[in-house]
Amino acid sequence: MKLRRKVYMVAGYNTISMGTGRKEFSPKKERPGLEEYVKEAGQGVLKQIGGAANVDECVIGNFIASLFNRQGNMAGFFPFIDKGLAFKPCTRVEGACGTGALALAAGIKSVLAETAEVVLVIGVEVQNTVKAIYGADILACAAWAKERKDGHAYFFPGKFSDRAGAYYQKFGKEKTRKAMAKWYVNAIENARLCPTAQEFHNTTKDLMTQGMSEPSPKAFVDNLNFFDCSKVSDGASGIAIVSEEGLKRCGISKKDAVEIIGFGQSEYDITKPPEDLTKLETTASAAKKAMEMAGITKDQLATVETHDCFTIAGIMAVEAIGLAEYGKGTDYVIAGKTARGGEVQFNTTGGLVGWGHPTGATGVHQAATILEQLTGKAGKAQITIKPERPYGLSINMGGDDKTLVSIVYKKAE
């Protein structure tokens, strides 16, 4: 199925991903609140599209401000961004860590339905409001609530530790740990090229040794170390989804836009465990749908922004996309094929491990990163886009491979 009209993304904007690792961050110092992140990201987009008057609809993606910030009714923040957004239709969407891309999908569908020519989309999360162990409990809401009482204190690290352990058992621990460490190295090296990344200030010299640190079950979880995990992050990302008429209205040239040529959404039963801990089957479903709609193959991808909430998830996503055979994702990563300059360059500003993971913002950040790459505006993080591989792919995952959105992008022509 092809899209019934052309849909574009323009005017990406990312706040700093704030949290441990940033020089400005201190738990003892007052930090920006939820509304300040929303305003910064929203105004960052509006300045690029000619102002609020050009916007028809707004969508905000936020996972769980009701618990982190005691704040609901998130759509009400759009008029706070700019009074010109008052009385415009605004919606809030939620799908755990896949919330950002669900917001993008909502905007895409509005443009396809011709209810809007310009949709302002923002993703936001402020999570450094509680201690990490309490934050882990809040984030466990991304899973089935009845699982929580029997889960690890660090619930989602525990879930992906189980996945890593199953992968170790089936395909060998030594090679898997090496690939996970390599994924971590790539994430930090890419984050060092992006000023808004949480790990931008990271100065560790021997990243590989750090990544190979042996997991400590007494201090954390059985099969992951701290460096295998994305950090607790505060931040927001924004982007505009527009039609051809929207491009004209905003005065934006196609050279500054990407076209959305395919997207896929997939859901798995939240009450059931994965059938196979070593596979991301819902991820595979969503990516397949997106590429089939776009009419492209994995061999035409230049860059992928994937949901590496944990390093093992990055390796398994390589297999889910089909870039490596099942069980061979470790070889693909160790060979440098996902690294900068590799066959398919992943997470070029650091991904969730390196750039950060403000949960509701992540999917929007992924889109903004691919927009920058395909239009040549990624600064020091810029990669070379080869003519035979002109496409970008994003994969945003909610829960333990439950709520998935994948999108295919190409430079607008």
CATH of the domain at 347: 3.40.47.10
Q: Please list, in sequence order, all residues whose beta carbon lies within 8 angstroms of the beta carbon of residue 400, skipping any fewer than 6 positions away.
A: 142, 143, 156, 159, 160, 274
In a domain, 143, yes or no: no
Same domain, 104 and 196: no
Same domain, 376 and 355: yes
Same domain, 159 and 102: no
In a domain, 226, yes or no: yes
Q: How far is CA 269 from CA 174, 213, 275, 308, in A?
A: 33, 34, 11, 21
In a domain, 140, yes or no: no
In a domain, 138, yes or no: no
In a domain, 36, yes or no: yes
In a domain, 381, yes or no: yes
Same domain, 251 and 199: no
Confidence of residue 28 (pLDDT cuts 50, 70, 90): confident
313-361, pLDDT tens digit by residue?
Answer: 999 999 999 999 999 999 999 999 999 999 999 999 999 999 999 999 9
* Nearest one of 288, 351, 295 to 323, comparing CA atoms: 288
In a domain, 109, yes or no: yes
27 pLDDT more than 90: no
Give the CA-trace dihedral at 72, 136, 238, 41, to 10 degrees.
70
1 pLDDT more than 80: no
Same domain, 324 and 363: yes
| Average pLDDT of every residue of the chain | 97
Question: Stretch 125-138: mean pLDDT, rounded?
Answer: 92
What pairing do the DSSP bridges indicate for beta strands 258-267 and 403-411?
antiparallel
216 pLDDT more than 80: yes
Same domain, 29 and 44: yes
**CA 270 to CA 399: how far, in whole Å?**
8
Cβ(313)–Cβ(319) below 8 Å: no
Same domain, 236 and 271: no
**Vertex 411: Cα angle to 7 and 192 (nearest 5):** 115
Confidence of residue 51 (pLDDT cuts 50, 70, 90): very high
Residue with tokens 């934050």: 135
Same domain, 101 and 224: no
Same domain, 72 and 84: yes
Same domain, 102 and 162: no
Q: How many domains does the chain have?
A: 2
In a domain, 136, yes or no: no
In what order do the strands lie in the sheet containing 391-398? 90-93, 57-61, 118-126, 234-242, 7-14, 258-267, 403-411, 391-398, 301-305, 345-346
pTM of the model: 0.98
> Which residue segment(s) compose the domain that 74 sits in?
7-131+232-256
Same domain, 92 and 215: no
